[in-house]
């Protein structure tokens, strides 16, 4: 533990002493190298450029022509002291995948330091084509670890020479179950990972491309099931990555692309750098460093053979595999016009996807509706299996024995390398007499058709109506317009009537004034009646009330106790003409005299007084001063 504190302390003091002399005077040096001198198209290589000396600018990396950059740049910096001279360095790494065979050169990395350009050395990688040796012995195929030109600076923390390179012991092997297959025949590809390193994580970077194939995933374990195996005398751990089934869809040499995975590898440390504890984390000591590498499988070429022309039946469905056929009905006894279902099932190993639909033979006396088709697929013992069912709804129309003929299906058997035709079992059914046209009653939702328009024609005539419309329009009849005119008139009259009635009820003066004429006429009429009867006194009494009552009603004064003098005063107050006042006064005086001396009053006098009363009343009615009351 003491060294952990002492060594950094010494380093720090030395750093302080050398400030301004050691680092600042150093020129910038760039060294580029690859972790290997040669590789196949499936190997990845690590390009590292180390920059030492005082550097302020960012490096300009070359175009990695001919390579695909998988990861990078990954950066690390370090400071080292050699013979009392302290130097600073930084390194940048790229993981590259060569894309073409031949000698690939990576141009220098450059850095601009105050107008002065420093450049690294170019590096060259020899890339061997994939068609080279098969990856039966991958550790040997992968080229020896070669330090790049210039080599890393002494004491470099990321120096690969001090670590075991994990990539040499990790590879993916792909195993096809056959190299050639007929169109539509299954080829199974198994991708396995072989490794001798401590793997932390595995993830798929690119799935195999299957151009020219139709593919199905057979097995993709979520967790690696690792087991041990010995390969060329070396102990490896191996795990299944993926297993896929591919079916060629066209003839010729077809290629399944590589499976590319990314792996996190924990590297095992061999030596111990005295300065390393200063820069490494406690986790590095515990688990070792983790490095991300990329591995890819070989591509697989499958030779797809066309289906043979010889022996191909005319009704060949297009399906390739090994299939069986089965037919069944849902009823054993059926009546005419009663629908039943015939289910025909095809099933077996292979895919029915390209297969044409079954041809159902026309049966006389049976109405056939469009079948319902259902496809089911699955995996059984690493083989792709398919099942297709057709449900025909049939409706016999005739009584008797109904024979459902066998239904044929032709396919190509790649194992037997021959075409085969299979047939379903024929059925014989007895059809009994049923109800006529029951389809609609049964509510079958099938067999409905769009209404077909056969032609266009006008709709038929109207029948004789019960009543025919005669004459002009309603609005051309004046009598109907009365309906619009009458209501306002009625409303107005009714409103006035209501208003008058209401005033009669609340306004006594108004009510008396309005009734004055009527009362006066009534009294005059009674006066005449009594005069004819010879009842002079009663007649005179009514004559008095005719005039006095009228004026009292009009002026709304009590008529009881009213004298001729008092009445004259009232008329004078309303500016009645003097002649009028005099006639009223004289009339009332005459009446009063006659009433007090009835013996001197004869019938002629009473009749004269009646005439006088009527004349006075007519004058009073015209009197304006009384009208306004």
Residues at the site binding other proteins, with contacts judged by CB under 8 A: 456-477, 479-480, 482-484, 486-488, 490-491, 494-495, 497-498
CB of 463 to other proteins, least distance (A): 7
Q: Which of 364, 359, 365 is nearest to 344 (CA)?
A: 359
* Residue 456 vs 560, nearer CB to other proteins: 456
The answer to whether 439 and 347 are in contact (CB under 8 A) is no
Q: Distance between terminal CA atoms of the chain?
A: 134
Report the nearest approach of other proteins to the CB of residue 336 (Å). Answer: 40
Using an 8 Å Cβ cutoff, are 325 and 407 in contact?
yes
- Cα dist from 60 to 150, 265, 573, whole Å: 19, 29, 130
What's the closest the beta carbon of residue 318 comes to other proteins, in angstroms? 49
Task: Look at residues 214, 141, 128, 146 and name the one whose alpha carbon lies nearest to residue 173.
Answer: 141
Q: Return the closest-CA partner of residue 109 out of 54, 37, 28, 42.
A: 28
Q: C-beta of 511: minimal distance to other proteins in Å? A: 19
Q: How far is the CB of 469 from other proteins (least distance, A)?
A: 4
Between 310 and 458, CB nearer to other proteins: 458
How far apart are CB 454 and other proteins at their closest, in Å?
15
Query: Which stretch of DSSP H or E encloses residue 509?
Result: helix 508-533
Count Cβ neighbours within 10 Å for each residue of 278-317 and write b for 16 or more, e otherwise. eeeeeebeeebbebebbbbbbbbebebbebeeeeeeeebb
CB of residue 522 vs other proteins: minimum separation in angstroms?
24
Q: Is 115 or 478 the residue whose CB approaches other proteins more closely?
A: 478
13/480 with CB nearer other proteins: 480
Q: Nearest distance from residue 405's CB to other proteins, in Å?
A: 49
Please choose, from the candidates 505, 530, 495, the residue with its C-alpha nearest in 3D space to the C-alpha of residue 613.
530
3-class secondary structure for 397-423? CCCEEEEECCCEEEEEECCCCEEEEEE
CB of 365 to other proteins, least distance (A): 41
Neighbours of 537 (CB within 10 A): 13
576 and 510 in contact (C-beta within 8 Å)?
no
Considering beta carbons, is residue 382 or 496 the nearer one to other proteins? 496
**Residue 370, by phi and psi: left (phi above 0), alpha (psi -120 to 50) or beta?**
beta
Q: Do 368 and 388 touch, CB atoms closer than 8 A?
A: no
Least distance between other proteins and beta carbon 460 (Å)? 8
Identity of the residue, 228 or 457, whose beta carbon is nearer to other proteins in the bound complex? 457
Q: From the CB of 486, what's the least distance to other proteins, in Å?
A: 7
Of 136 and 474, nearer to other proteins (C-beta) is: 474
Nearer to other proteins, 272 or 459 (CB): 459
10 vs 480 by CB, closer to other proteins:
480
Half-sphere exposure of 75 (CA within 13 A, CB side): 7
Instruction: Answer yes or no: are the C-beta atoms of 318 and 381 closer than 8 Å.
Output: no
Residue linked to tokens 């195996």: 229
The answer to whether residues 375 and 352 touch, using CB atoms and an 8 Å cutoff, is yes
The least distance separating other proteins from the CB of residue 509, rounded to whole angstroms, comes to: 24
C-alpha to C-alpha distance for 129 and 97, rounded to whole angstroms? 13
Q: List the beta bridge partners of residue 181.
A: 304
**Contact yes or no for 554/623 (Cβ under 8 A):** no
Nearer to other proteins, 477 or 529 (CB): 477
- Least distance from C-beta 470 to other proteins, angstroms? 5
The residue (of 489 and 575) whose beta carbon lies closer to other proteins is 489
Q: How many residues does the chain have?
A: 629
In this complex, which beta carbon is closest to other proteins, that of residue 436 or of residue 464?
464
300-305/180-182 β-pairing: parallel
Closest approach of Cβ 471 to other proteins, in Å?
6
Distance, in Å, from the CA atom of 390 to the CA atom of 403, rounded to the nearest integer, reads 18
Measured from the CB atom, is 477 or 532 closer to other proteins?
Answer: 477
CA distances from 389 to 300, 302, 359, 602 (A): 35, 32, 13, 136
CA distance 109 to 125: 16
Residue whose CB is less far from other proteins, 502 or 507: 502
Residue 614 CA from chain centroid, whole number? 101
Give the full edge-to-edge strand order of the sheet including 252-256.
Answer: 180-182, 300-305, 252-256
Of 446 and 491, the one with the shorter C-beta distance to other proteins is: 491
Residue 479 has a CB neighbour count (10 Å cut-off) of: 7
Residue 578 CB, nearest approach to other proteins (Å) = 45
């Amino acid at each position: 533990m003491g060294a952990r504190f002492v060594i950094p302390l010494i380093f720090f003091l030395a750093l302080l002493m050398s400030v301004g002399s050691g680092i600042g005077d150093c020129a910038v040096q760039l060294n580029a190298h690859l972790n290997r001198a040669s590789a196949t198209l499936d190997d990845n290589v690590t390009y590292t450029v180390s920059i030492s000396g005082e550097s302020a600018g960012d490096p300009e990396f070359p175009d990695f022509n001919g390579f695909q950059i998988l990861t990078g740049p990954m950066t690390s910096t370090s400071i080292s002291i050699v013979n009392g001279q302290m130097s600073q360095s930084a390194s940048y790494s790229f993981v590259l995948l060569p894309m073409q065979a031949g000698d690939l050169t990576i141009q220098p990395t450059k850095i601009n330091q105050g107008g002065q350009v420093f450049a690294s050395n170019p590096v060259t990688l020899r890339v061997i084509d994939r068609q080279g040796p098969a990856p039966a012995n991958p550790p040997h195929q992968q080229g020896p670890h070669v330090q790049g030109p210039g080599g890393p600076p002494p004491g470099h923390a990321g120096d690969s020479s001090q670590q075991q390179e994990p990539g040499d012991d990790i590879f993916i092997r792909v195993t096809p179950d056959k190299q050639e297959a007929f169109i539509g025949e299954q080829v199974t590809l198994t991708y396995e990972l072989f490794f001798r390193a401590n793997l932390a994580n595995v993830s798929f970077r690119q799935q195999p491309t299957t151009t020219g194939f139709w593919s199905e995933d057979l097995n993709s374990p979520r967790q690696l099931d690792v087991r041990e195996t010995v390969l060329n005398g070396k102990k490896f751990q191996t795990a299944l990555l993926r297993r896929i089934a591919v079916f060629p869809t066209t003839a010729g040499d077809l290629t399944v692309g590589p499976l590319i995975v990314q792996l996190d590898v924990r590297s095992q440390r061999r030596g111990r750098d005295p300065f390393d504890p200063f820069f490494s984390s406690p986790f590095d000591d515990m688990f070792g460093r983790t490095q991300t590498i990329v591995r890819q499988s070989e591509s697989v070429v499958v030779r797809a053979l066309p289906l043979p022309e010889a022996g191909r039946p005319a009704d060949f469905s297009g399906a390739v595999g090994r299939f069986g056929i089965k037919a069944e009905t849902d009823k054993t006894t059926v009546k005419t016009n009663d629908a039943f279902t015939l289910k025909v099932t095809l099933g077996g190993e292979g895919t029915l996807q390209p297969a044409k639909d079954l041809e159902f033979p026309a049966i006389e006396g049976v109405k056939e509706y469009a079948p319902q088709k259902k496809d089911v697929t699955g995996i059984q013992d690493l083989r792709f299996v398919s099942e297709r069912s057709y449900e025909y709804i049939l409706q016999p129309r005739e009584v008797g024995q109904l024979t459902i003929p066998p239904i044929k299906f032709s396919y190509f058997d790649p194992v037997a390398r021959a075409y085969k035709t299979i047939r379903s079992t024929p059925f014989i059914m007895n059809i009994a007499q049923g109800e006529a046209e029951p389809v609609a009653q049964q509510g079958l939702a099938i067999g409905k058709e769009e209404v077909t328009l056969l032609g266009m024609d006008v709709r038929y005539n109207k029948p004789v109506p019960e009543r025919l419309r005669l004459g002009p329009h309603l609005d051309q009849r004046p009598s109907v317009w009365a309906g619009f005119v009458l209501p306002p008139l009625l409303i107005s009259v009714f409103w006035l009537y209501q208003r008058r009635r209401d005033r009669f009820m609340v306004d006594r003066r108004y009510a008396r004034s309005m009734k004055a004429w009527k009362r006066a006429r009534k009294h005059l009429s009674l006066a005449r009646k009594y005069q004819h009867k010879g009842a002079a006194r009663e007649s005179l009494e009514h004559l008095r009330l005719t005039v006095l009552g009228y004026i009292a009603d009009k002026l709304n004064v009590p008529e009881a106790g009213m004298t001729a003098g008092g009445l004259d005063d009232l008329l004078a107050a309303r500016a009645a003409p003097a002649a009028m006042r005099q006639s009223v006064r004289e009339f009332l005086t005459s009446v009063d005299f006659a009433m007090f001396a009835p013996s001197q009053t004869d019938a002629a006098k009473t009749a004269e007084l009646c005439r006088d009363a009527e004349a006075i009343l007519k004058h009073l009615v015209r009197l304006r001063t009384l009208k306004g009351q």
